[in-house]
Chain A
Amino acid sequence: DAGVIQSPRHEVTEMGQEVTLRCKPISGHNSLFWYRQTMMRGLELLIYFNNNVPIDDSGMPEDRFSAKMPNASFSTLKIQPSEPRDSAVYFCASRRDRKNIQYFGAGTRLSVL
């Protein structure tokens, strides 16, 4: 099993640019989570999907952030336009069902200059 796969591992961009982060969950998992981790705020849940449907996006900081899950094997988190305060490590995690643990991807380290 390849685990949760995120790409890119590192992203450096300039303020105002669009950024797209990608996640491939573990096959057979039906829940997917996007987290943001910063020194100041710790680990924050941004949004999670169940069976490709967004269930709770209350953690999405503002309208510049959007997430999609067009199918069971792929999700994107988009920031448009990006700002320096968006710099963080973004983790994706997936879970088979409510009685199982979350498995985390390696994360994408985003730097917005």
Chain B
Amino acid sequence: AQSVSQHNHHVILSEAASLELGCNYSYGGTVNLFWYVQYPGQHLQLLLKYFSGDPLVKGIKGFEAEFIKSKFSFNLRKPSVQWSDTAEYFCAVNADNYGQNFVFGPGTRLSVLP
């Protein structure tokens, strides 16, 4: 079965620190990869996505992610976080060979201290 793991449950950073959130998935084949963000009290919003092509994907608000097929990873990065980045971040995978549903990771809560 599909599974998605995220390395950290809760990450606490100071403003201007660099961020990297890990995401790994458990199966081969063609995958579509996503990072969603959920700000406190709000719904999930797409940060960025990878379908094919350049494995380094740039998203909104200065976020980027790199797809490393050999490592089954899709880590999220931001060089300098802001207090407004405080949110929960979800990695999601949709594999062509496994039907149409998404599998979400458990989420990583990011707290940025001012």
Contacts and interface: CB of A to CB of B under 8 A. Distances in A.
Interface of A: 31, 33, 42-43, 45, 48, 50, 55-56, 91, 93, 98-99, 101-107
B104 A31 contact: no
Contact of A104 (B32, B44, B103, B107): B44
A93 B94 CA distance: 15
B17 interface: no
Nearest to A95: B100
B100 A102 contact: no
A5 to B, nearest CB: 11
Contacts, number: 45
Nearest to B102: A102
Given A42-B106, A43-B107, A98-B94, A105 B101 contact: no
Given A43-B90, A45-B101, A107-B43, 15 more contacts: A31-B100, A33-B102, A42-B107, A43-B107, A45-B102, A45-B104, A50-B100, A56-B101, A91-B43, A91-B44, A99-B51, A101-B46, A103-B46, A104-B43, A106-B42
Contacts of A42: 104, 106-107
A98 B45 contact: no
